[in-house]
Amino acid sequence: MSRLAALAVVAFFVSLPLWMTDQYFLHILIGTGIFTIAAMSLNLLLGYTGQLSLGHVAFFGIGAYTSALVSLGFDVTLFGWTVTLAPKPVWFAFLCGIVMAGLAGWFIGKVSFKVRGAYFVIVTISFAEVVRLVALNWIDLTEGPMALNNIPPVTLWLPWLGEKTFWHKTPNYYLVLVIAVIAFEIIRRLVQSRLGRSLVALRENEPLAMSVGIDVTRSLVVATIVSAAIAGAAGGLYAHYIRIVDPDVFLFIYTVTMVIMVVVGGKGTLWGPVVGGLLFGILPDFLRDMAAPEVQWIIYGVIMIVIVFFLPQGIVPAVNGWLRSLGTAVRGATAAKEDRA
Amino acid sequence: MEQFFQHVVNAQILGGTYALLGIGLTLIFGIMRVVNFTHGELYTFGAYMLFMFVMLLGVNFFVGILLAIVLGVILGALIEITLLRPIRGADIDTTMLVMIGAWIAMQNLEQLTWSGIAKSVTAPFPSEPLVVAGVSVGWDRIFVFASAIVLIVGAHALIHRTQLGKAMRATFQDRETAALMGVKINRIYTATFALGSGLAAAAGALLAPVFVVYPTMGDMAALKSFAIVILGGLGNFWGAALGGFILAFVEEFGAGYLSSGYRDAMGFLLIIIILIFRPTGIFAQKERIG
Amino acid sequence: MSNEGESLLEVERISVRFGGLIAIADLSFGVREGEIVSLIGPNGAGKTTAFNAITGYLQPASGEVRYRGRRLTGLKPNQVAGIGVVRTFQKTSLFEGNTVFDNVLIGLHRAGRQTLVGILLRLPGMREEERRLRGQAAEVLDFVGLAHRAEEYASALPYGEQRLLEIAVGLAAGPQMLLLDEPASGMNPAETAAFMKMIQQIRDRGITILLVEHDMRMVMGISDRVVVLNQGEVIAEGAPASIQRDPEVIRAYLGSGATHA
């Protein structure tokens, strides 16, 4: 996608709240944006590095919980020691969420080198489950199923406007959009760099990658940390927008949602998760009146299977392919016309 | 002390069904290298089938169990033929994604059909538990344990005493050579998936009267099955069986003596720790390739 | 043709075991700087296993491998490559989903210095480095004669050109010493002759070469020295001419019947 087209897309989304006043739809878009950021981060692991990481929701949730807890303050007793933290400003909490998620990523990255393929899938799923169960049971810290409530919204100092608290949807929308663009750009720079090449290399042919000096473990760990940190950022956004966080954020179904977004959109491409995210973020809302949620999920499941069977690369590469052959056909036709003329 | 033996007995019963789940998945996982996300759904399916036969159609309880297992086998075969065979040879993430799609579709179909309200199945056993030396065991649970043992032995016999089983083992050892020797790989794969699915359905049917039946019950079962497979090593029959019992013991004792809330987490933690130190599982015999 | 170069690679009494099977019993040989040494032997003699042991893909059960006096045994393959010892693979090994150009670009990994921070912040040196690397990639492709294929996918190349691409990727890694595992297998005589010339050109650039090959014409044609392996042990070593006449060697080969001589 050319620079111009990308800018046009961003401009479109920037302008959206100006002409689309339906608050409910704005809410849907914010949720979609948050999930899309998470999907982009998953794509870095699943698509580019080829790691079967199915515990991604763990990074999202860790980011959400950490950010929420740091902004609310907490005091908890563990093995006889009491840890107390006074509430901190939201921007600081948000960064803490990113750091904690990144740490979790580091752990998973290290483990993933020892444990490959199908085993790794299971480790990542188990990890997310363990984190969910901890969140559910460590009521002292997380309030368990009673959830963390009244999480403060984002408060930022903005030029010209001074310090503003994001109570309404519109500022949150722009916040999510800004983070989404930043995340996209981070991933793009990473992927189009030497490190990005190493990731693709280790996905395609690990022994060969090693033979030219690529440190596979290190590349994997770096990719996982970045991926986890971005997912953690998405989690933080979630925490301060929805302002309630409960252990259900760790449900496997959310990882599946992200996987569907990435795979259907096109794994290993930059725009794939964006397309997939928008599609599966907005679709449920359109289908809401037409079909029960169960039916929707059946449709998603079927879509997944159909895409894997017929468009295994996903939507974005397929469209790219069609556009390319269309371009070739058009060029061929105009050339033929010129010949005849 | 009685507490201790009570836990042991409870663990045995749970272990039996865990073993069924684990064996079913390790066969599929080991022979076909498919990350089978539908395993949990077959478990749920078995439970709902028993519910349907016994509670809605008035079929005899034991016949109902048999029917549930048979239908599980058939469903497994169907899934394999329609979803896995067409993508035979694709890489592991492709099959994994198809299985995820199937899992979502199946679970929501269950939800649509039966609604989310938990159902219960009444078993024809006396409600007075058997009490021996201060340890009480319900008759229904004794039945579960006994049936599980029978099925485990039966599955083992199938794998080690029949032509089919021989072919399955050959395929597990070396697919290419097995194919060269005339083994019809397609049929073996279908049979493996059907067998594994049947065992999962059996576990679900057996446990249906003990717990309640609800659409998402398969999720935990699936996760634990994966954990058991890892404990026991891919494709390792007795490893999975033993793994099932070990997991049950860890859960039961962990819940009993440490904290019941973290019961389910015990198993997963165990898995993660084991994999960090022994990436091929405790009992794995075969070297992993790559 | 032989050089008085300093000892570069020293393989000292390594043994490699797979379960109960002894793949390499007690292997010792050396390669001097600037040499082209060929490792030959019947199938199953342990040649690829030796490569794997030298470059860190396998750990020898005993013995040591040294490069310029420095221990190689125990290092991971990417660390071995980092020292300048690069190997190719017996079975065609490429980044199939990438273009020819990108394959070589990946191979140039060691020549790059980008850091995570530099990448994310687009620090000035980054673009300069990309340009430099791309220039180098073009050079390497030129050298092996694949410049005209740069934009094609590696999987689309005919077999002979795929093998050339493998050499290109190996060269891109900036080796001081190149270990080639049956690089000419499957090549026709014309391709083999061109390939032999290329090997010599590579050596003339200062890269020492250790070669595993079955094609005797090639082995005898370009090697300074030949090391003969059979059942995990060296059974003969020396100049090509003397090896051809060695009765032990002939006996080893008659057993398996693999000669092109």
Distance set, CA A10 to CA A178, A277, A333 (Å)? 10, 15, 34
C75 lies in the same domain as C197: yes
Yes or no, beta carbons of C114 and A197 under 8 Å apart: no
HSE of C106, CA atoms in CB hemisphere, 13 A: 33
Contact of A119 with chain B, judged by CB distance below 8 Å, is answered with yes
pLDDT at A49: 85
Cα distance between residue B184 and residue B269, in whole Å: 40
Give B117's contacts (C-beta < 8 A, 6+ positions apart): B214
Question: Would the CB atoms of B226 and A126 count as touching at under 8 Å?
Answer: yes
The answer as to whether C148 is a domain residue is yes
| B272 touching chain A per CB within 8 A | yes
One domain, residues C126 and C196: no
Residue C260 maps to a domain: yes
User: Which pLDDT score, from 0 to 100, does residue A210 have?
Assistant: 94
Residues C170 and C242 placed together within one structural domain of the fold? no
pLDDT for A341: 56
Long-range contacts of B246-251 (CB under 8 A, 24+ apart): B246/B15, B247/B15, B247/B18, B247/B22, B248/B11, B248/B12, B248/B13, B248/B14, B248/B15, B248/B18, B249/B8, B249/B11, B249/B15, B251/B11, B251/B14
Nearest CB to A212: which of C98, C106, C116? C106
DSSP state of B52: I
Task: Write the burial class of residue C111 (CB in 10 Å: 0-12 exposed, 13-18 middle, 19+ buried).
Answer: middle
Q: How confident is the model at residue B286 (pLDDT cuts 50, 70, 90)?
A: very low
| CB spacing of C95 vs A198 below 8 angstroms | no
* Statement: residue A115 has pLDDT above 80: no
**Cβ-defined contact of C105 to A197 (cutoff 8 Å):** yes
> What integer pLDDT is reported at residue C2 of this predicted model?
45
Cβ proximity of B125 and B116 under 8 Å:
no
| A298/A260 Cα distance (integer angstroms) | 13
Q: Are residues C3 and C80 in the same domain?
A: yes
Residue C96 class from Cβ within 10 Å (0-12 exposed, 13-18 middle, 19+ buried)? middle
**Chain A CB within 8 Å of residue C132 CB:** no
Mean pLDDT of successive 10-residue segments in chain C (261 residues)? 67 84 85 90 82 90 90 91 92 91 94 83 83 92 91 90 93 94 87 91 92 87 89 84 81 59 45
Which member of B35, B97, B98 has the closest CB to residue A118? B35
Whether C119 and C242 share a structural domain:
no
Classify residue C59: in a domain, yes or no. yes
Which of C114, C139, C174 marks a domain boundary? Answer: C174
More confident residue, A67 or A330: A67
| Predicted local confidence at residue B133, as pLDDT | 76
pLDDT at residue B73, as a whole number: 96
CA geometry: angle B215, A248, B212, nearest 5 deg: 25
What would you report as the CA-atom Rg of chain C, rounded to the nearest whole angstrom?
19
Angstrom CA distances, C24 to C19, C42, C61, stand at 12, 14, 9
More confident site: A258 or B138: A258
The residue among B7 and C170 whose pLDDT is bigger is: C170
Q: How confident is the model at residue B285 (pLDDT cuts 50, 70, 90)?
A: very low
Q: State whether C64 and C114 are in the same domain.
A: no
The nearest CA of chain C is from the CA of A48 a distance in Å of 12
Q: Is B290 exposed, middle or buried (0-12, 13-18, 19+ CB in 10 A)?
A: exposed
Q: What does the alpha-carbon distance between residue B30 and residue B280 come to, in Å, rounded to a whole number?
A: 12
Q: Residue C212: which domain range?
A: 1-84+175-261
Q: C109, A222: Cβ pair inside 8 Å? A: no
Look at A109-113, B260-264, B280-284, C40-44 and tell me which has the smallest mean pLDDT. B280-284
Neighbours of C222 (CB within 10 A): 20
What is the structure's pLDDT at B46?
Answer: 95
Could you tell me if A273 and A288 are in contact, meaning their C-beta atoms sit under 8 angstroms apart?
A: no
The nearest alpha carbon in chain A to B106 belongs to A298
Residues in A closer than 8 angstroms to B106, CB to CB, are 301
Q: Is B170 on the interface with A (CB under 8 A)?
A: no
Residue with tokens 């449709």: A299
Q: CA-CA distance, A259 to A304, in Å (whole number)?
A: 10
Which pLDDT belongs to residue C3? 46
**Interface residue of B80, B112, B272 to substitute, partner A, most A CBs within 10 Å:** B272
What share of chain B in percent tops pLDDT 90? 38
- Mark whether C134 and C76 lie in a shared domain: no
Cβ of C78 and A216 within 8 Å? yes
Query: Using 50, 70 and 90 to split pLDDT, how confident is the model at A79?
Result: confident
Structural domains of chain A ordered from first start? 3-310 (1.10.3470)
CA distances from A86 to A69, A75, A243, A245, B193 (A): 10, 8, 18, 19, 55
> CA of B180: how far to CAs of A334, B170, B174, B176, C32, in Å?
53, 11, 10, 6, 46
Backbone angles phi, psi at B122, to 5 degrees: -90, 135
Q: What residues have CB less than 8 Å from B47, skipping those under 6 apart?
A: B68, B121, B204, B205, B207, B208, B213, B217
Q: Looking at the 3D structure of chain C, how many domains does it have?
A: 2
Average pLDDT, stretch B27-36?
87
- Strands C208-212 vs C36-40: parallel, antiparallel or unpaired: parallel
Does A125 contact chain B (CB < 8 Å)?
A: yes
Q: Are A118 and B234 within 8 A, CB to CB?
A: yes
The radius of gyration computed from the CA coordinates of chain B, to the nearest angstrom, equals: 19
Q: What is the distance between the alpha carbons of residues A38 and B76, in angstroms, rounded to a whole number?
A: 34
- In a shared domain, residues C39 and C115: no
Tell me, yes or no, whether C162 and C179 share the same domain. Answer: no
On whether both C162 and C180 belong to a single domain, the answer is no
pLDDT exceeds 50 at position A206? yes
pLDDT of amino acid C232:
78
Dump pLDDT digits (tens) for A270-284: 999 999 999 998 888
Rounded percentage of chain A residues whose pLDDT exceeds 90? 39
Percent helix / strand / coil, chain A, rounded to 5: 75, 5, 20
Instruction: Please tell me the distance from the alpha carbon of residue B264 to that of residue B250, in angstroms, as a whole number.
Output: 10
**Residue C235: per-residue pLDDT:** 85
Q: Which residue has the tokens 């998953």?
A: A42
Are C245 and C203 part of one and the same domain?
Answer: yes
Kindly report which listed range (A113-117, B126-130, B279-283) carries the lowest average pLDDT score: B279-283
Token pair recorded at residue C243: 């090896």
Residue at which a domain ends, from C152, C174, C196: C174
Say yes or no for a CB contact (<8 Å) between A303 and B101. Answer: yes
Distance from CA of C114 to the nearest CA of A (A): 7
Distance in angstroms (rounded) separating the CA atoms of residues A153 and B250: 42
Q: Which helix (H) or strand (E) holds C8?
A: strand C7-18
Contact assignment for A298 to B230 by CB distance below 8 Å: no
Distance (Å) of CA A261 to CA A81, A182, A269, A274, A284: 43, 19, 12, 8, 13
What pLDDT shows up at residue B39? 95
Residues, chain B, total? 290
- Residue B288's pLDDT is 31
Query: Which residues lie closer than 8 Å to C236 by C-beta, 6 or more apart?
Result: C226, C227, C228, C243, C246, C248, C249
Helix residue ranges per DSSP H, A51-89: 56-72
